[in-house]
Structure 1
Amino acid sequence: MNEVIEDISKLWNLKFKDYNEYLENYGDPLSDKALHTITGYYDGLGFLLHKRLIDIETIEYILSGSSTNVWEKLKPITEGMRKQYNLPELSKWFEYLYNELQRREQRLQQTQQ
């Protein structure tokens, strides 16, 4: 788990506004170990959620909301890689996790009104 925290911190400190700027500043994302560690970690959680092997409340408790922030940070890289390498399903379970967490947040807000 320590490695995941370190890798999230590394990725969080990257400065870019889009995929092209990421490429200019940091090079090929395929060689970024931290990127692969983190997307693989969240992909795995998203897949477990999809298969109903873990519930969304447990994920929310474990991650303390970090997955939403991490997805939003890495989304331009993921979308750029999907296009560049013709990998339309790259990080699909990470994106699924993000979307489910967004839906949950919307439901919680509606019940509080």
Structure 2
Amino acid sequence: MVELFVLQSLSYIAAAISVCLAAFYYALNLREANRNRRMALTTSLMQSFISEEGVKRFMDLANMQWTDFDDYYRKYDSTVNPENAAKRVAYWNACEVLGYQYREGIIDIGTLNAACTQLITTIWAKFKPVIEEYRKFDYSKNTYENWEYLANEMDKRILKRDPSYRGPQRGLGGDAYEKAFKR
């Protein structure tokens, strides 16, 4: 005959195992729910780049022209051209959020590369001198630092895969912008 304390011990062990399994299952579900939420957010952000409207916005920004910061300020600053500023800042902020997500490990560089490499690096190269000027008098020193980090990481990844790469930060106008913004 089995002693009562043995049955009680087995009952306690079974209960403890059940609680541990439930906690493990809950942790897995929570992790998966967070992953799905992050993926939904990332997909939503990336849609703003790869949709027809997103590509048009990219082209509008890429086609902006100015000779120096004063010329840029006269044509495109939010005080003189709020419509352009709204379009531009929305794009910049989306790039900043993607950069933050990359830094935090929420999204990987491969996914970003596949979806929007040129859309992020080209606009960063074009507007880097402008953002640097604004950092001197209007923005904080770290404004758009996540976007800058992401653009540099994407550029490095492309260069590693294709050493002959002459993308936006090394030949498609970057030097001209750097010269124009030296004071």
Identify the TM-score tier after normalising by the shorter chain. 0.7 to 0.9
Matching residue of 2:178: none
Q: Is the 8 A contact 1:67 1:98 kept in 2?
A: yes
Asked if 1:27 corresponds to 2:77, the answer is: yes
89-98 or 78-87, larger mean C-alpha shift: 78-87
Query: Normalization by structure 2: what TM-score?
Result: 0.54
CA root-mean-square deviation: 2.1
Which digits, 9 at most, give the CA deviation of each residue in 1:74-108, with x for residues without a partner? 11221111112151111111101111112212322
Residues 43 and 94 in structure 1, CA contact (< 8 A), matched pair in contact too: yes
Q: Residues 8, 40 of structure 1: CA spacing in aligned structure 2 closer, same or farther, 3 A cutoff?
A: same
Query: Offset of 1:65 from its aligned partner?
Result: 2.2
Q: Distance in 2 between matches of 1:86 and 1:42?
A: 16
Equivalent pairs, count: 110
Deviation at 1:109, TM superposition (A): 3.3
Structure 2 counterparts to residues 1-113 of structure 1, below 5 A: 1=48, 2=51, 3-28=53-78, 31=82, 32-109=85-162
Letter aligned with residue 59 of structure 1: L
Cα distance in structure 2, aligned partners of 1:100 and 1:57: 11
CA 17–98 in structure 1, closer or farther in 2 if over 3 Å, else same: farther
Aligned-residue sequence identity (percent) comes to: 24
Q: Which runs of 5+ in 1 are unaligned?
A: none
- C-alpha displacement at 1:64, in angstroms? 4.4
Cα distance 1:65–1:27, how it changes in 2: closer, same or farther (>3 A)? closer
Please tell me whether the aligned partners of residues 4 and 37 of structure 1 are also in contact (alpha carbons under 8 angstroms).
Answer: no
The superposition leaves residues 52-82 of structure 1 with CA deviations (integer Å, 9 ceiling, x where unpaired) of: 1111110011114221111011112211111
Change (3 A) 1:28 1:19: farther
Structure 2 residue ranges without an equivalent (≥5): 1-47, 164-183
Q: Which amino acid aligns with 2:67?
A: K
**Which whole-Å CA distance do the structure 2 matches of 1:79 and 1:6 have between them?**
25
| AA in 1 matched with 2:142 | E
Determine the C-alpha separation between the residues in 1 that align with 2:67 and 2:113: 27
Which structure is larger by alpha-carbon Rg, 1 or 2? 2
Equivalent-residue separation in structure 1 for 2:116 and 2:89 (angstroms): 18
**Distance change (3 Å), C-alpha of 1:17 and 1:64:** same
Distance 1:65 1:98 in 2: 9
